[in-house]
């Protein structure tokens, strides 16, 4: 069984994320796909993301009715900096026979070698890279293996959504309607 793992801050989740998920499922033939929000990104130690409970709630709203994607809150429950290798080891224990794939946007490929226990991570998973507008070529360098998906680059980011909300601009075209409504009903990013 091919299992896809999609980690990120999801602060908030947006159409780019959903697009990545669809491309990975279709092009790599994933049987299951887990969205795994981080408690704290090790690369953004001073960042103060929206509360984990909210980021989880938005993800669940975004994926409601989607039978091929699930939300996994293990990194939130663990707390502290979220290291992908810990999460990947947990999946390897739970699904010993599965082939594990880790989804990333092209902006992440250059810093993969800085991820904790990068060599071990490279042995445990194959990466699925989705091109992202504004980012250079998305090739994976050794020791990492996997493939670059075709997809169709979608220029949406969480930072753009946060900036627009701060400026009082609409975000309905950037995130699913239920998430846009939830964002409009709180003032987290003001």
Residue number with CB closer to ligand ATP (93 or 160)? 160
Q: To 10 degrees, what angle do helices 52-63 and 177-184 make? A: 150
Nearest-approach distance from CB 50 to ligand ATP, in angstroms: 11
Nearest-approach distance from CB 96 to ligand ATP, in angstroms: 26
Residue number with CB closer to ligand ATP (148 or 178)? 148
- Both tokens of 43, joined, read 């690369």
Buried b (16+ CB within 10 A) or exposed e, 112-145: beebeebeebbebbbbbbbbbeebeebebeeebe
Where does residue 69 fall: left (phi above 0), alpha (psi -120 to 50 degrees), or beta otherwise?
beta
Nearest-approach distance from CB 68 to ligand ATP, in angstroms: 17
Nearest-approach distance from CB 80 to ligand ATP, in angstroms: 18
Sign of CA dihedral 79, 125, 108, 53: negative
Q: Which residues bind ligand ATP (CB under 6 A)?
A: 8-11, 16-17, 20, 104-105, 107-108, 130, 132, 154, 156-159
Q: Parallel, antiparallel, or unpaired for β 32-37 and 69-71?
A: parallel
Residue number with CB closer to ligand ATP (16 or 176)? 16
Residue number with CB closer to ligand ATP (87 or 157)? 157
Query: Whose CB is nearest to ligand ATP?
Result: 105
Q: Which of 186, 179, 181, 190 is nearest to 10 (CA)?
A: 179
**Phi/psi of residue 129, each to 5°?**
-105, 130
Residue number with CB closer to ligand ATP (20 or 56)? 20
Nearest-approach distance from CB 97 to ligand ATP, in angstroms: 26
């Amino acid at each position: 069984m091919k299992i896809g793992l999609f980690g990120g801050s999801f602060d908030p989740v947006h159409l780019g994320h959903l697009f990545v998920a669809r491309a990975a499922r279709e092009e790599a033939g994933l049987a299951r796909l887990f969205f795994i929000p981080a408690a704290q990104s090790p690369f953004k130690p001073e960042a103060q993301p929206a509360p984990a409970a909210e980021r989880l709630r938005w993800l669940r709203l975004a994926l409601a009715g989607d039978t091929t994607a699930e939300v996994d809150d293990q990194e939130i429950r663990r707390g502290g900096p979220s290291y992908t290798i810990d999460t990947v080891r947990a999946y390897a224990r739970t699904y010993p026979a599965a082939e594990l794939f880790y989804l990333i946007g092209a902006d992440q490929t250059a810093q993969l070698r800085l991820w904790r226990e990068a060599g071990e991570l490279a042995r445990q998973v194959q990466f699925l890279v989705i091109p992202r507008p504004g980012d250079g070529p998305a090739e994976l360098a050794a020791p990492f293996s996997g493939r670059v998906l075709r997809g169709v680059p979608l220029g949406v980011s969480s930072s753009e959504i946060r900036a627009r909300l701060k400026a009082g601009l609409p975000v309905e075209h950037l995130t699913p309607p239920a998430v846009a409504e939830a964002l409009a009903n709180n003032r987290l990013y003001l």
